[in-house]
Amino acid sequence: MTAVLLLLVVVPALAAVVAGSLRSDAARRVVAVVAAGVVAVLALAVLPAALRAPVLVELGDVPWLAGLVEGPMFGVLLDPLSAVLLLVAAVIGFLTVLYSTGYLREANRDHPVGHEGQARYYFWLLAFLASMTGVAVAPSFLQLLVFWELTTVCSWALISFRQDGPSLAAGFKALVMTHVGGAFLLTAVLVLFAVTGSFGFDALARLPDQLRPWVFLMLVVAAWAKSAQVPLHTWLPDAMAAPTPISAYLHAAAMVKAGVYLVARAASSGWAMPPRVAVVLGAMAVVTMFVALSYYFVQDDLKRLLAFSTIAHLGYVLLGVALGALGSLTAFRGGVLHIACHGFAKATLFLCAGAIAYVTGSRSIAALGGLARTMPLTAAAFFTGVLAVAGLPPFACFWSKFMILSGAMELRGPVGPVVLVLVLVESLVAFAWLLHVGQKVFLGAPTPAAAVHSDPPAAMSVVLVVLMIGCLVVPAVAMPLVLGLVR
Amino acid sequence: MSDASLLGVAALLVLAGAAVSLALARWRRPAGWVATGFVVAAAVPAWLVVVRTFAGGGWVHPTSVGLPSLGARLNIAVDPLSAFFLAVLATVAPLATLYSVEYMTHYRRDGVAKFYPVLLVFFAATAGVLVVDDFLFFLVFWELMTLSGFFLVVFERDSAVSQRAGLKYFVITHAATLAMVAAALVVWRRTSSFAFADLGRGVDGLLAGQPLIGHLVLFLFALGFATKAGVLPMGDWLPDAHPVAPSGVSAMLSGVLVKLGIYGLLRLLVPFLPVGPAAPVWGAAIALAGTASLFVATLTALRQSDSKRLLAFSTIGQIGYVVLGIGVAVAMLPAHPTVASLALLGALLHVGGHACAKACLFLGAGALLYRTGERDLRRLAGAGAVMPVTAASATTAALSISGVPPLAGFASKWLIIGACLLAGFVAPLYLVLALVALFISLVTLALFVQLLGSVFLAAPAPPRPAAEVPGSMAVPQAVLAGLTVAIGLVPFALLAPLRDAVAVVLPTAVPAAAELAGGPLGLVLRVDGRALAFWAPLVVVAVAVLVALLVHVLARRATAGVREVPVWHCGEEHDLAAVQVPVGGMYLPFKRAFEGIYPRVAVRAPRFPPWLRRVLDLDTWLYGPAARALGRGAAGVARSHVGIPQVYLLWIVIGAVAVVGLLLGLLGTGGAP
């Protein structure tokens, strides 16, 4: 088991080096797909073990701190919460790599990529996959921090992939903002170590009462930066300058989920989050949802719209975690389930946007129309994604949102009805707008931009089909894991 | 085979049909025939379950699917109420699918890959709504039904009208559904279970402890289901959505989908209403809503010139009758349960009769559209000679909806208005409502006389239909029209099942069917054992047939000849087209009097306040300036690197002195023994 978990990190790291140094593009694609496939298969294989027998193995420590640290420093961890993140990171990672083999071509009308960009891209993508699985299996805050910063670096490199003015600026902005979050995380980890002598997750519960709110608040701010929540949300819409598979993977399914994973981990290790911090977390989550909603109506770029939707949905996860910290296990489970459900649903939407951009060269909602005639599969996938993200049963996010709402109602006092009304209003407006956009782009009379004759390559279509199935099936897969989360 | 497995078989057949018709979608007619075959095959076990449930009573089959942590479990539960609606579905659905086989060939630009699979999923979802007894899974099937309905409504991709109608339908019904979710979660807070029975107990608890919240919950449920049923003003989506769908789908939407809203009211509102002092208030509110709906909608229908839009408004009107019946039932329940049972009986019978009749009418409108390409009533004329089956079916169905004896609509309206009049003895409000309902019945008749007269009877004018529609389109219409006749002639055959369904809804004891409204040859309105009125359709029809035979025999024996003369136009010769009363010209005083009855409300999109937009734009006033200040600070620090070695040496000397001084200071204070 330990070996398998280590392989999850080592295999993509090695593959990154290999893929980066190969000269042949075809060989590079094969290496990337195989490595990502191995990671996905291994991740799925360890999921049942996460429920039956959670694993925490210490593998080493830093020589000059030996004896001063109690609890794990470096090692591997597998429990239901990390299994959910692993599910999303590994499976969508594999699908993203597969999709990229079709997307990064000269034939891409939106973003033609020749030979010179391929090595860079696959290196950083596989390095990111390794960093993400590293975050998922980290048994202590220290290892989490190390891999967290690695994901920041990979994200910077991938956002600036095109290396033109706007993408370099966007990459730098993302780097600085998420690194500010990383600084808060570092401070929190150092304070934790200084006071309790441990880097482990359960050390949070051993913090004295005066210090605990500050440490938790610092962790929350780190998560806000990483997961693009208000007030540190402005980097994500600009990060849409990245190639679309990167937007789908990093900035919808994986990297931004590392932030909410951190908060979920901090909240559930010992259930020590102070109620005031939980209230702040929940309130800012709701504010984020509505701020993001307010930006929907002025977007013409399809990817920017999806970026704002991602920001709102990460708010849902944090709302679930906050309600969980206030006492409702159902809401916490709903928030964690939303990590998986939203990951799949949003990845579907982003990859459809990528397919549209590949074939038509346009991402503008105003310019596109009637695409369902020439791209029926993409249309089906897009509407599946919209229905999933909006939370319509039986699709993915319905179950997680419903659990969050039920959890809110489990709490005493006015919190429940207030959250209920706000979330339902946001759900309705977001659903109406996304449906309207979907109708505008796919249904209706065809516009000149839609007069395309080519279908996206097979690799991209296959991934869309798998993601559509995922939008229906992932709640069933993730629910047993989520139900394994206990107080 | 157990009932649950029969339903499982039916569900599998429908889903298999969806998959197979998707695979065959390139060939329209074969895909249609395959879909029809699967739906008919699925209707057989469904009907078996219906019959067995009526014979043997309700049953519950638990499954292992569920979310125990939330208190939700998927049980397959069929009782006489579900069985009745399932029967309606299992009747109209195969006929609508059969009709669509030929009908869908007239769409040139849109293929059927997005039609038959979605239609079959729609059927499966609708059946799913009817057979669950837990709110969470009810919600799953309900939304699945709504979303498949959306994709059917927006079938015509190129039409902006269709797209807009579909969006309006989906958003309005989704908003209503979310209101119901909120209400259910408020009740769940008390009960921790989503089962209908537990929700009922929870509502009772809320009404006892926090009556304001309890009534709000009931109001939200009412709102949600009334929106789906098409009660005005929430039902504003209906006149836009029903016409733009393919006609087979319009028949399903008006025939079955809105009835699911009624089912929801009967399952999740009426049983939850308190049987006490609040009941007459609720009943009056529901009855008023129904009456307002039937009044406004039918008068608006009078002014429509699009055949399908007219039928959609008529649907809203007829649903108003059903809601009126439900309102009377709720109001009369505490004091006069017999009257309540009669009203609900009439409402349910109206559901069945209207489903058949309205589906038939939509299929007829579709038949005209198929043959002439025309939906505008001002341009359709004289199709009756060429399309006899369509004309006869549409006439029968229209007369049934108008409440003309001896058809189904008359029997159900007789019951509803009779119960309403009886209620009027207790509360005069219902007398007024009954009179309004009677008046609107007349208006409905006028409406359909106008429709039928101009479309089928007037002298033919282009565009002329070339021929009758193919058999696969004519048979469903004939069958549905025949059903309205059958229900009308022998309504007492349905009394026992309907009475069982009523007993499921009303918490008090309902008299047996024979005592309630049964009579030897027809229906009898009975209160406290006394018969107040009776309706014996078979006798009336028999007498009418005898008289007709007599007249026919006498006419055959008459020896005076028949003289054919042209129509007298006061001495002048006129072209028939010039003197024929066009559709737009009938009932002008009425149309003028009720011109503004359906208000048009201009909804402007709210503007986002610009100052808030500026506040939220953190990049502009926070991060940008901060980054630039940092840059300036860094540039300032960079200026201290002048590049002259002597200056750096000076820095080193000053620094060394400072560090040594600090160390000496620290050692001095720390090192004293």
pLDDT in tens, B124-161: 999 999 999 899 999 999 999 999 999 999 998 888 89
Q: pLDDT digit string (tens) for B216-248?
A: 999 999 999 999 999 988 888 999 999 999 999
CB contact set of B255 (below 8 Å; sequence gap of 6+): B88, B92, B96, B354, B355, B356, B358, B359, B362
| A436 inside 8 A of chain B by CB | yes
Check B188 against A392: CB less than 8 A apart: no
| Secondary structure of residue A162 in the 3-state scheme | helix
CB contact set of B246 (below 8 Å; sequence gap of 6+): B100, B103, B104, B107, B115, B152, B155, B156, B366
Mean pLDDT, residues A398-425 taken together: 93
CB contact set of A440 (below 8 Å; sequence gap of 6+): A365, A368, A369
Residue B572 scores a pLDDT above 90: no
Nearest CA among B485, B495, B544, B500 for reference residue B519: B495
Which chain A residue's Cα is nearest to B184?
Answer: A406
Mean pLDDT, residues B170-187 taken together: 94
- pLDDT higher at B663 or B378: B663
Mean pLDDT, residues A25-46 taken together: 93
| pLDDT score, position B508 | 75
Check A405 against B158: CB less than 8 A apart: no
| pLDDT score, position B87 | 94
Say which of B70, B619, B627 has its CB closest to residue A403.
B70
Q: How confident is the model at residue B583 (pLDDT cuts 50, 70, 90)?
A: low
Regarding beta strands B72-78 and A55-60, do their DSSP bridges make them parallel or antiparallel, or are they unpaired? unpaired
CA distance A43 to A12: 13
A457 and A351 Cβ atoms separated by less than 8 Å: no
Query: What are the φ/ψ torsions at residue A279 (nearest 5 degrees)?
Result: -65, -45
Mean pLDDT, residues A258-281 taken together: 93
CA distance A371 to A442: 4
Residue A332 scores a pLDDT above 70: yes
Pair of tokens at residue A56: 């925490």
Which chain B residue's Cα is nearest to A391?
Answer: B143
| pLDDT score, position B455 | 82
Nearest CA among B220, B188, B216, B213 for reference residue B201: B188
Residue A63 scores a pLDDT above 80: no
Which run of H or of E encompasses B74? strand B72-78
| pLDDT score, position B28 | 87
Q: How confident is the model at residue A84 (pLDDT cuts 50, 70, 90)?
A: very high
CB contact set of B654 (below 8 Å; sequence gap of 6+): none
* Count of Cβ atoms closer than 10 Å to residue A367 Cβ: 15
* Count of Cβ atoms closer than 10 Å to residue B460 Cβ: 14
Residue B672 scores a pLDDT above 70: no
Q: How confident is the model at residue B88 (pLDDT cuts 50, 70, 90)?
A: very high
Pair of tokens at residue A137: 């299996």
CA distance A33 to chain B (A): 31
| B616 inside 8 A of chain A by CB | yes
B298 and B319 Cβ atoms separated by less than 8 Å: no
Residue A67 scores a pLDDT above 60: yes
Residue A66 scores a pLDDT above 80: no
CA distance A434 to A395: 15
Residue B65 scores a pLDDT above 90: no
The reply to whether omega before B405 is within 30° of 0 (cis) is no
Mean pLDDT of chain A: 91
Residues in chain A: 487
Residue B462 scores a pLDDT above 80: no
| B157 inside 8 A of chain A by CB | yes
Q: pTM of the prediction? A: 0.92
CA distance B159 to chain A (A): 6
Distance from first CA to last CA of chain A, Å, rounded?
25
Q: Which of residues 555-614 of B touch A (CB under 8 A)?
A: 608, 612-613
Nearest CA among B120, B147, B4, B142 for reference residue B65: B4
CB contact set of B666 (below 8 Å; sequence gap of 6+): none
Q: How confident is the model at residue B464 (pLDDT cuts 50, 70, 90)?
A: confident
CB contact set of B671 (below 8 Å; sequence gap of 6+): none
Which of B15, B65, B69, B164 should we substitute to test contact with A (largest number of A Cβ atoms within 10 Å)? B69
| B181 inside 8 A of chain A by CB | yes
Rounded (10°) angle between helices B116-130 and B80-103: 170
Check B70 against A330: CB less than 8 A apart: yes
Bridge partners (DSSP) listed for residue A58: A75
Pair of tokens at residue B223: 């709102």
Check A431 against B171: CB less than 8 A apart: yes
Least confident of A20-24, A181-185, B463-467: B463-467
| pLDDT score, position B241 | 92
